[in-house]
Structure 1
Amino acid sequence: MSDTPIGREVLVVANSRSGVSVGRPDRVPDVRRRMPGATVHELAENETLDEVVASATSRENPPEVLAILGGDGSVSRAAHLARRHDLTLLVLPNGTFNHFARSAGIPDVDAGLDAYAAGRVRPVAVAEATVDDGDPITVLNAVSLGAYPEFLAERERRTSLGKWWGGAVAAWREMHDATAVDIARGGKRASVWSVFAGVGGNDPGRIATMQRATLDDAVIDVRVHHARGTRARAIVSLAFGERTVRVLRALRLMPPASDIERILDKDFEIVVQPGSSPDIWVHDGELEEVGRDGFRLRVRAVPEGLRVYLPAP
Structure 2
Amino acid sequence: MPDRIHAWDVRLFDRTAASHASIADPALRRLSKAADHSFLWGATAGLLAARPGPTRRGAVRGLLAVAGASVLANGILKPMFPRIRPGFERTPFVRRVLSPPVSSSFPSGHSASAAAFATGVALESPLAGAALAPLAAAVCYSRVHTGVHWPSDVLAGAALGAGIALSTRRWWAVRTEEPAVLGKRVDLPALPGGRGLLVLVNPGSGSDDGIAQTIRDRLPNAEIFEPEPGDDFNEQLEDHIDRLAPSALGVCGGDGTIVSVAESAVRHHLPLAVFPGGTLNHFARDAGVADIDSTASAVESGIAAQVDLARVLVDGNERVPFVNTATFGGYPDSVRLREKLQGRIGKWPAAALAMIRVLGNARPLEIMLDGRQESVWMLFVGNGQYAPADQVPMSRPSIASGTLDVRYLPSTPFLSRTRLVFAALTGTLGASSTYVHSSVRTLVVDVVGPEVALATDGEVTADGRNFEFGVDDNGLVLYREQ
What TM bracket, shorter-length normalisation? 0.7 to 0.9
Shift of 1:27: 0.8
Shift of 1:199: 1.5
CA–CA distance in structure 2, aligned partners of residues 222 and 13 of structure 1: 32
CA–CA distance in structure 2, aligned partners of residues 77 and 211 of structure 1: 23
Deviations 1:142-195 (A, max 9, x none): 211112212111101123122123223313322432222111124321110111
Matches within 5 A, 1:1-313: 6-19=193-206, 24-59=208-243, 61-161=244-344, 162-205=346-389, 209=393, 212-227=396-411, 228=413, 229-231=415-417, 249-251=424-426, 257-275=432-450, 279-290=452-463, 295-312=465-482
CA–CA distance in structure 2, aligned partners of residues 187 and 52 of structure 1: 41
CA–CA distance in structure 1, aligned partners of residues 222 and 441 of structure 2: 38
Q: Which amino acid aligns with 1:115?
A: A
Is this contact kept in 2: 1:66–1:88, CA < 8 A? Answer: yes
Cα 1:72–1:193, aligned 2, differ >3 Å: closer, same or farther?
same
More helix by share: 2
Shift of 1:18: 1.7
TM (normalized to structure 1)?
0.83
TM (normalized to structure 2)?
0.55
Aligned positions, number: 289
Aligned to 1:244: none
Is this contact kept in 1: 2:387–2:394, CA < 8 A? Answer: no
Cα 1:5–1:309, aligned 2, differ >3 Å: closer, same or farther?
closer
RMSD (Å), alpha carbons? 2.6
CA–CA distance in structure 2, aligned partners of residues 100 and 305 of structure 1: 15
Shift of 1:122: 1.3
Q: Which amino acid aligns with 1:159?
A: Q
Shift of 1:230: 5.0
Cα 1:11–1:288, aligned 2, differ >3 Å: closer, same or farther?
same
Shift of 1:250: 4.5
CA–CA distance in structure 2, aligned partners of residues 261 and 194 of structure 1: 11
CA–CA distance in structure 1, aligned partners of residues 296 and 267 of structure 2: 23
Shift of 1:208: 5.4
Shift of 1:34: 1.2
Q: Which amino acid aligns with 1:310?
A: R
SS state of the match for residue 351, structure 2?
helix
Q: Which amino acid aligns with 2:448?
A: Q
Is this contact kept in 2: 1:174–1:231, CA < 8 A? Answer: no
Q: Which has the larger radius of gyration?
A: 2
CA–CA distance in structure 2, aligned partners of residues 207 and 298 of structure 1: 26
CA–CA distance in structure 1, aligned partners of residues 368 and 394 of structure 2: 23
Cα 1:280–1:207, aligned 2, differ >3 Å: closer, same or farther?
farther
Is this contact kept in 1: 2:192–2:300, CA < 8 A? Answer: no
Cα 1:52–1:38, aligned 2, differ >3 Å: closer, same or farther?
same
Is this contact kept in 1: 2:203–2:226, CA < 8 A? Answer: yes
Shift of 1:224: 1.8
Cα 1:250–1:130, aligned 2, differ >3 Å: closer, same or farther?
same
Q: Which amino acid aligns with 1:136?
A: R
CA–CA distance in structure 1, aligned partners of residues 439 and 274 of structure 2: 28
Aligned to 2:67: none
Cα 1:9–1:232, aligned 2, differ >3 Å: closer, same or farther?
farther
More strand by share: 1
SS state of the match for residue 258, structure 1?
coil
Shift of 1:33: 0.8
CA–CA distance in structure 2, aligned partners of residues 258 and 163 of structure 1: 32
SS state of the match for residue 305, structure 2?
strand
Cα 1:204–1:251, aligned 2, differ >3 Å: closer, same or farther?
closer
Shift of 1:114: 3.0
Deviations 1:11-48 (A, max 9, x none): 1111112226xxx4521111111111111111222122
Shift of 1:210: 7.9
Q: Percent identity?
A: 29
81-90 or 156-165, which moves further after superposition? 156-165
CA–CA distance in structure 1, aligned partners of residues 295 and 268 of structure 2: 21
Cα 1:70–1:194, aligned 2, differ >3 Å: closer, same or farther?
same
Q: Which amino acid aligns with 2:201?
A: A
Q: Which amino acid aligns with 2:474?
A: E
Shift of 1:79: 0.8
Q: Which amino acid aligns with 1:257?
A: S
Deviations 1:236-268 (A, max 9, x none): 69xxxxxxxxxx845569696222222322111
Cα 1:253–1:210, aligned 2, differ >3 Å: closer, same or farther?
closer
Cα 1:69–1:153, aligned 2, differ >3 Å: closer, same or farther?
same
SS state of the match for residue 194, structure 2?
coil
CA–CA distance in structure 2, aligned partners of residues 210 and 191 of structure 1: 25
Aligned to 2:13: none
Shift of 1:110: 3.1
